[in-house]
Amino acid sequence: MVKKIGLFWLKDDFRLKRNIALSEATNNHDQVVAFYLYKQKDLDSKQAQKWWIGRSLEEFRERLTELNINLEIIKTETYKVFFEKLFNGNNFSIYWNRTYEPNYLKFDEYLSKNFKKNNIHFKISKGNILNEHQDVKKKDGTPFKVFTPFWKTAENFYVEKIPTKQRKILKCKNKITYFKKTLNETEIYPQKKWYQKFEKYWSPSEKVALSELKSFINKRVESYADARNFPSILGTSKLSPYIKHGQIHVETIWEECSKIKKKGINKFLSEIGWREFNHSLINYFQYMLKGNYSKKFDKFPWEKNSKYLLAWQKGLTGYPIVDAGMRELNSTGWMHNRVRMIVGSFLVKHLLINWVEGERYFKNCLLDYNEANNVSGWQWVAGCGADAAPYFRIFNPILQGEKFDKNGEYVKKWVPELKDVPNKFVHKPWEIDKENILKLGRDYPFPIVVHEKARVKALEAFKKI
Ligand SMILES: Cc1cc2nc3c(=O)[nH]c(=O)nc-3n(C[C@H](O)[C@H](O)[C@H](O)COP(=O)(O)OP(=O)(O)OC[C@H]3O[C@@H](n4cnc5c(N)ncnc54)[C@H](O)[C@@H]3O)c2cc1C
């Protein structure tokens, strides 16, 4: 046991199960302090996440208190400003888990260099991922650019390497404070109405994440492969915000799923695999975080149309499945994957608006926003990503609606203006000729573009590149 204080830098790791850095700190020190760095500017472009983080801090503080660990929140302009002051310290060792985004990994190198230089003991541990991005590569040592072969190789790797060994988290001797000028989590998420809406749908905690996983495996995983496409039913795990903020480690998901043999398990794990693949992509091809993975898209004739963009954001495009998706996002901070693809395709291909605008809006509104999945998801939709949807695949919002929301239940839930519309018309309300049921332009918008015309225009634009 080392006499010094153990500092645990809490980022996206609001959990006790499989939190290697926290376990290292408590095994090596009698006294541990956890700290969270609040960069306001960064969170200002991720409004929904402020709520999740605020609630997670509140909940995790209580759990750490039971371990005699104080959680301190520190506001800082940049991580560098904060850490520069720490380099002169001599009474602590510091521990954190890796975050698999290029900026973070680069910053880890900077910290390692400076802690070493100043003889400060530090340890960086495996974060919330199955494979470190450099672990799964082609035989010739180059990165995979296509998902299927990536996943085949990755699965074999996991069988041997997972779960990663971890020591139990220990209770500390006594609770101490370390930093001056700390914040309360309420300063991160002011009690605005906008945030309160999430309370109805989510409860950010490790306990809830683990019980949601259990319930998904027990009750829903067998039908997952089909049910995952239908937004009106609870067919997926809805674990994404918990995974993003680390209330559950993906190794726990892998381990629990590997214990049982049920239909649907492989499909479910392969979706977790897409998350792995995306993290690998953004670290090998870092330029895709700033623009198109496929460079030929740099010449794409995107259009700027703030009226269309606003209509899309508000769920007022006149295409019911698109509007339902955007309103689900605006109300709950989450959107069904099938509908993410439909609304994404609509923005990029029907409205010809750059995917970057969609990515930015999702980033602000999604509770599960993560850089790897969001950027890759948007580039997949636009056709400019690695292993992306082909450019000529333009989702028809009417047919998608009729196929995946046949009776319009999803649409009617999120677009109540259409609740009395007969199912036959629910995905094409402009065909109703009875104004007592629905008057377009008064009760619900006219479609902002005509599907067939928009499709032809998009194909012409795509041909140019
Ligand atoms: C345009 C667009 C943007 C997206 N942005 C994000 C984002 O910011 N954050 C995010 O986590 N996911 C994103 N996704 C992927 C996917 O839509 C969500 O992960 C999924 O809807 C989450 O719901 P779930 O937890 O019920 O998923 P489940 O179907 O239960 O899947 C389990 C887990 O696997 C992972 N996963 C599932 N589908 C995908 C996928 N297509 N790509 C990568 N990982 C996946 C997630 O971690 C998910 O929680 C995006 C997809 C698109 C098309």
Which domains does the chain show, CATH number per domain?
5-127 (3.40.50.620), 128-163+207-284 (1.25.40.80), 295-464 (1.10.579.10)
- Mutational test site, ligand 1, from 240, 329, 354, 361, max ligand atoms within 8 Å of CB: 240
Question: Residue 341: CB within 6 Å of ligand 1?
Answer: yes
Widest pairwise Cα distance in the chain: 79
pLDDT reading at 289 higher than 80: yes
The conformation of residue 292, written as its DSSP 8-state character, comes to -
Question: Residue 377: CB within 6 Å of ligand 1?
Answer: yes
Element (H, E) at 37: strand 32-38
- Mutational test site, ligand 1, from 148, 248, 271, 363, max ligand atoms within 8 Å of CB: 271
Which of the two residues, 374 and 1, has the higher pLDDT score? Answer: 374
Q: Which amino acid is residue 138, in one-letter code?
A: K
Q: Give buried/exposed letters for 316-355 (b at 16+ CB in 10 A, else e).
A: bbbbbbbbbbbbbbbbbbbbbbbbbbbbbbbbbbbbbbbb
Query: What is the number of residues in the chain?
Result: 465
pLDDT reading at 306 higher than 80: yes
**Using CB atoms within 10 A of its CB, is residue 69 exposed (0-12), middle (13-18) or buried (19+)?**
buried
Q: Taking the mean position of all CA atoms in its chain, how far away is CA 124?
A: 23
Looking at ligand 1, which residue's alpha carbon is closest to its atom 6?
374
Are residues 204 and 212 in contact, defined by beta-carbon separation less than 8 angstroms? no
86-140 pLDDT, tens digit each: 999 889 999 999 999 999 999 999 999 999 999 999 999 999 999 998 899 999 9
Within 8 A by CB and 6+ apart from 90, the residues are 120
pLDDT number for residue 20: 97
Confidence of residue 308 (pLDDT cuts 50, 70, 90): very high
> What's the average model confidence in pLDDT over 364-386?
97
Tell me the CA–centroid distance for residue 240 and ligand 1, in Å.
6
Which whole-number Å values give the CA distances from 234 to 53, 220, 227, 447, in the listed order? 25, 8, 8, 29
pLDDT number for residue 98: 98
Which of the two residues, 133 and 176, has the higher pLDDT score? Answer: 176
Question: Residue 458: CB within 6 Å of ligand 1?
Answer: no
Q: Which amino acid is residue 40, in one-letter code?
A: Q
**Using CB atoms within 10 A of its CB, is residue 177 exposed (0-12), middle (13-18) or buried (19+)?**
exposed
pLDDT reading at 1 higher than 70: no
pLDDT number for residue 391: 82
Tell me the CA–centroid distance for residue 337 and ligand 1, in Å.
6
> What's the average model confidence in pLDDT over 29-50?
94
Distance separating the N- and C-terminal Cα atoms of the chain = 63
Computed over every residue of the chain, the mean pLDDT equals 95
What does the radius of gyration of the chain's CA atoms come to, in whole angstroms?
A: 24
Question: Residue 365: CB within 6 Å of ligand 1?
Answer: no
Q: Percent of the chain scored above 90 by pLDDT?
A: 88
pLDDT reading at 419 higher than 80: yes
List the structure tokens of 378: 């948007």
Of the candidates 54, 36, 49, 40, the one whose C-alpha atom is nearest the C-alpha of residue 363 is 49
Question: Residue 280: CB within 6 Å of ligand 1?
Answer: no
> What's the average model confidence in pLDDT over 9-14?
98
DSSP string, 86-155: HTT--SEEEEEE---SHHHHHHHHHHHHHHHHTT--EEEE--S-SS-TTTS--TTSPPP-SHHHHHHHHH
Confidence of residue 401 (pLDDT cuts 50, 70, 90): very high
Strand, helix or coil at 223? helix
pLDDT number for residue 379: 97
List the structure tokens of 399: 């047919």
Q: Percent of the chain scored above 70 by pLDDT?
A: 99
Q: Is the pTM of this model over 0.95?
A: yes
pLDDT reading at 189 higher than 90: no
322-345 pLDDT, tens digit each: 999 999 999 999 999 999 999 999
pLDDT number for residue 433: 84
Cα distance between residue 133 and residue 282, in whole Å: 9
